[in-house]
Amino acid sequence: MDGDAVKAKRYINRELSWIAFNQRVLSLALQSKSPLLEQAKFSAIFSNNLDEFFMVRVASLIAQLESNSSRLSIDGRSAAEQLQAIHQQLGPLLNQQHHHLQHRLLPQLEQRGIGILDYPQLSRRQKDWLTSYFQAQIQPVLTATRLNTPGKPFPFISSLSLNLAVEIQGSDLGGNELIRLKLPTKNIPRWITLPVALHGERAGALHLCVPLEQVIRHNLRALLPGRRISSISLFRVTRDADLALQEEEAEDLMEAMQSSLRRRKAGGDVVRLELSGDTPRRVQQQLIAGMGVDSNWVQRVDGFLGLEDLMALQGVHAPDLKDRPFHGSTPAPLRDCQSPEEGRHARESIFTAIRRGDVLLHHPFDRFTSTVEEFIHQAACDPDVQAIKITLYRVSKDSPIIASLIAAAERGKQVLALVELKARFDEDNNIRWARQLERSGVHVVYGVIGLKTHTKIALVIRREREKGALRTYSHVGTGNYNSKTAALYTDLGLLSADADLGQDLISLFNYLTGFSKQSAYRKLLVAPTTLRERMLELIEREIEHARAGRRCGIKAKMNALVDQRLIDKLYEASTAGVPVELIVRGACSCTSGVAGLSEQIRIRSVVGRFLEHSRVFWFENDNAPQVWLGSADWMPRNLDRRVEAVVPIEQPDLVERLRELLTLYIEDSSAGWLLQADGRYSPPGQEKPGSSAQEQLMQSKR
């Protein structure tokens, strides 16, 4: 067996494993037991995920192919082989998505009073109203651009924009004229809502709307009077969105990032072209030639393009068609220390509660607002707090944490915010926040050159009145300081007054601000300095326990597992007899149950209502377990090219809680997909029935 064949058996391709993950997301849209608007939501998430996959992963492979790179994937495939496999696997999934939407979801939604109507279905009154709407709201912002002017370059088409290609007969310049109209979806809703008074025979419907592209299409003669239109087609392009940032050569990182963002907006290469199914072949060929897109990445769709816009239906008030709302609860140790409301006063400060013992947080089951946000809010208001330091990676647009940091700075506290400008697709948002924080007196830094700061840490330094000494209060988490995602993602965090942990965070912030070259820490494991090697050592220790006949075992939960060195070490553990239980949400290059390689490894992917985002690493250690949580996945980028931190959980009751939590996910046969030895995942329900881990956690917090 040659080397490539060995690799193919030993590892699972990262890109194909990610597609399998997105297929699991799509399965939630296809489930008839899911509420209808939840089906629409997961279909939108599937499409949004796929957009990012093309902009980053497919674009990277195309770049490798065009540069004649000899680089092979972990399973020994060339870029061309991976692109071919991606193409083969995506086609059936897209067909499934569109068939479900057109033949099941939209008809069922219409039966329940929510209709996305085709223009020809409309009554005369409805069409007249839309014509008036077009003339008043849409036509003034539309601009027609010719795509095929002889002797001139093909105009730029922005990534992910929806466009109409309008073919007009008899151009003055000879031949047919091809006009492009960009749909103004940033200013006008994709789905234009009909007034209730115009529901007509559908009186009593909850929500009726018409696609923007159809409103424009059927009113084009007002925009192009006297022109003979021979065809109208909808199209959408996806461009390479990678940012090449030369930090070492940049005197001003923010200026360099803004320049890179301008280059992204100016457009990378087109990596995908989506067309409505009625697009004439001659128009398709003009678009392909004009944008230089590979014909393998042209997708003709009989249905809507840009299905991520289905997310807008979440704004329809239809509680019977959505999941029951869930708001979580405040964990018991913090219930008496909430900020005053309506004249009530907290019995104690959050710092008093944390001094009594570490507090383990599990969002969204534990409310983010009454835990992490409350921690930062009280730090901003407490006159004894001297300083607040925090890392910001992805921040919500209307952020209470940002407001608290600004309030703290205005009260004269020392506030440091490390804002990661290189957080992909959040760069613009982070630049705006960085400027606002700086204007408010917050000391803003941008991290270590050459590394992305992905760690989620916050530090509060407070002068204790009893002794007059300074004391540290720490938060280390797996998720962003983001109110919106905290309600949608599952994440873990630790609030602690442990002095050694506080000193570690002081040292780590000094490293991040460039004032130290710290490489050793008391408790934290930090990438890229100590995390990888310590994880390898911990796995090796379990191997030694197994060989000596002592109790051993590894349990880990993460978003992705694609690091070859760690996978090889897990294989070594498996062959030594160490039981390995992994919960890996997304891409996973590690095999499971392969004879002589991974027989002791079992891998489950849990996909449910909330996006699984927490990372936990458990080592049995001969009945003296060590467990860690933090921001890092087992990927080369996290271990080698990012600043990450994971924290040990040492308080016995919290260790036991994490044991129970990991067991809950490992045994989840309702939302957990089990990886088989052939590299495929068996869907939930193949084992004993039961409620999902997320459902049980919600039930415990209602």
pLDDT for 687:
55
454 part of the active site: yes
Q: Parallel, antiparallel, or unpaired for β 611-612 and 616-619?
A: unpaired
Please name which of 453, 450, 447, 400 lies closest in space to residue 423, comparing C-alpha atoms: 453
Over residues 461-466, mean pLDDT: 90
pLDDT tens for each residue of 643-661: 999 999 999 999 999 999 9
Q: What would the mean pLDDT of 400-405 be, rounded to a whole number? A: 95
Q: Would you state the pLDDT for residue 237?
A: 96
pLDDT tens digits for range 495-519: 999 999 999 999 999 999 987 777 8
**Residue 245 predicted with pLDDT over 70:** no
Q: In whole angstroms, give the CA distance from residue 427 to residue 254.
A: 10
The predicted structure's pLDDT at residue 248: 40
Residue 533 phi, psi dihedral angles, 5° rounding = -65, -35
Write out pLDDT tens, residues 544-585.
Answer: 999 999 999 999 999 999 999 999 999 999 999 999 999 999
The pLDDT of 190-198, averaged and rounded, is 96
Q: What secondary structure letter does DSSP report for 676?
A: P
pLDDT over 90, % of the chain = 80
Between 295 and 500, residue with greater pLDDT: 500
Residue 625 CA to residue 604 CA, distance in Å, equals 22
Structure tokens at 269: 């290469």
pLDDT band at residue 591 using 50, 70 and 90 as cut-offs: very high
Nearest to 526 by CA among 631, 419, 635, 654: 631
Q: Element (H or E) spanning 218, and its range?
A: none
The 10 Å Cβ neighbour count of residue 222 is: 11
**Look-up of token digits 């209808």:** 36
Angle at 573 between CA 570 and CA 579, to 5 degrees: 95
At 217 the pLDDT is: 95
Lowest mean pLDDT among 241-250, 285-294, 322-331: 241-250
454, 475, 545, 613: the active-site residue:
454
Give the whole-angstrom CA distance, residue 646 versus residue 167. 58
| pLDDT at residue 600 greater than cutoff 80 | yes
Confidence of residue 8 (pLDDT cuts 50, 70, 90): low
Instruction: State the SS3 of 368-426.
Output: CCCCHHHHHHHHHHCCCEEEEEEEECCCCCCCHHHHHHHHHHHCCCEEEEEECCCCCCC
- Sign, Cα dihedral of 198, 203, 208, 210: negative
List, edge to edge, every strand of the sheet that includes 177-182.
144-146, 177-182, 162-168, 229-239, 270-276, 298-301
pLDDT value of residue 359: 98
SS3 readout for 68-95: CCCCCCCCCCCHHHHHHHHHHHHHHHHH
pLDDT over 60 (residue 10): yes
| Per-residue confidence (pLDDT) for residue 253, from 0 to 100 | 46
List, in order of start, the domains of the chain with CATH numbers.
1-111+305-325 (1.20.58.310), 332-518 (3.30.870.10), 527-701 (3.30.870.10)
User: How many residues make up the chain in this entry?
Assistant: 702
Q: Is the pLDDT of residue 391 over 50?
A: yes
**Model confidence over 326-381: pLDDT tens digits?**
999 999 999 999 876 534 456 899 999 999 999 999 999 999 999 999 999 999 99
pLDDT at 244: 46
Res 593 pLDDT > 60: yes
* 601 has pLDDT over 70: yes
Whole-angstrom distance, CA of residue 354 vs CA of residue 474: 9
User: According to the model, what pLDDT value does residue 11 have?
Assistant: 97
256 membership: H or E segment, kind and range:
helix 253-266
Cα 338 from chain centroid (whole Å): 30
Question: pLDDT, tens digit, for every residue of 119-146?
Answer: 999 999 999 999 999 999 999 999 899 9
Residues 6+ apart with CB under 8 A from 110: none
Query: Would the pLDDT of 251 be above 90?
Result: no
